Amino acid sequence: MSGSLERFSINQMTVKQLSLPELADGCARLGIRNVGLWREPVQAHGLEATAKLVRDAGLTVTTLCRGGFFTAVDPRERAAALADNRRAIDEAAALGTDTLVLVSGGLPAGSKDLYGARERIADALSELGPYAERHGVRLAIEPLHPMYAADRCVVSTLAQALDLAERFPAHQVGVTVDTYHIWWDDTAPAQIARAGAGGRIHTFQLADWTTPLPEGVLTGRGQIGDGSIDMREWQDHVEAAGYTGAIEVELFNDVLWARDGQEVLAETARRFTEHTR
């Protein structure tokens, strides 16, 4: 059994070699209805111009990536991060998406205090949650694979993400379920059920796990079907938990980025239909 493209969303980073107009053209040609966008290329194209482009193309923006980076200790850095996240919320609202993905941030230089860093994330969320709500945007804490705990994201599991999110209303703060980050975790299915019961699965993303990992481990997210992750298994988990939203494919992969973007877009759509229900 294969999935249709109806729920497929192409995260812009998967085909970052494409400009936004090229991406919109490719989506129109392939029948792709949904895109996940990133702040930097949107800003480069212009926020209003991007909003008009996707509107005219009939595309739904499923998520904006990304806010976060809340773990600084320095008060000025913290204030700057909060201000930047308010801008990210504004941008999400302008693009018509209801979901801003958050990558929470790693340990400050020299720090070994994971617990303190996680508390500073909670502090930031308490300021941003109400702001996001007023703009019709939900914050989606993304637990990143534990290999990023030091330098990128001290939130490493769905359980940790939910421990943070549940301090706030679900329409303010939920989680991102991304197969790449959680596939190894035998407690993740129960945490997906917990997230679903609370209405906190704000987005569901796919990437496959391939080895060997590249230096720095950032650009090794594998094409769907190339690696160790059973995508249907995770789709079943989120759907059993009540998730009916878009399924975004977000790959960072040097090999894919070196290829023709339209070809990668078509391949990704095909792999999606082959590996989902």
Interface residues with its own copies (CB under 8 A)? Answer: 107, 111-115, 145-147, 149-151, 154, 156-157, 159-160, 183-187, 209, 211-217, 227-230, 233
Name every residue whose Cβ is closer than 8 Å to that of residue 219 and which is 6 or more positions away in sequence.
252, 253, 254, 257
Nearest-approach distance from CB 226 to its own copies, in angstroms: 11
The smaller minimum CB distance to its own copies, of residues 76 and 112, is found at: 112
User: Which candidate, 3, 19, 5, 26, places its Cα nearest to that of 265?
Assistant: 26
Provide the minimum distance between the beta carbon of 166 and its own copies in the complex, in angstroms, as a whole number.
Answer: 15
Minimum gap (Å) between residue 277 Cβ and its own copies: 15
**Shortest Cβ distance from residue 149 to its own copies (Å)?**
4
Q: Give the other-Cβ count within 10 Å of 186's Cβ.
A: 6
Nearest alpha-carbon partner for 272 in 58, 35, 38, 7: 7
Say if residues 45 and 19 touch (Cβ distance below 8 Å). Answer: yes
- Which residue, 27 or 188, is less far from its own copies as judged by CB? 188
| Nearer CB in complex with its own copies: 211/244 | 211
Rounded CA separation 214/116 (Å): 30
Please say which residue, 157 or 223, places its beta carbon nearer to its own copies.
157
70 vs 148, beta carbon nearer its own copies: 148
| Residue 143 C-beta: closest distance to its own copies, Å | 11
Identify whether the C-beta of residue 249 lies closer than 8 Å to the C-beta of residue 208: no
Q: How far is it, in rounded angstroms, from Cα 225 to Cα 268?
A: 10
Closer residue to its own copies (CB): 133 or 185: 185
- Least CB distance to its own copies at residue 247 (A): 18
Our measurement of the distance from residue 214's CA atom to the centroid of its chain's CA atoms, rounded to an integer in Å, reads: 21
Q: How far apart are CA 104 and CA 226, in angstroms?
A: 28
Contact criterion met (CB below 8 Å) for 171 and 139: no
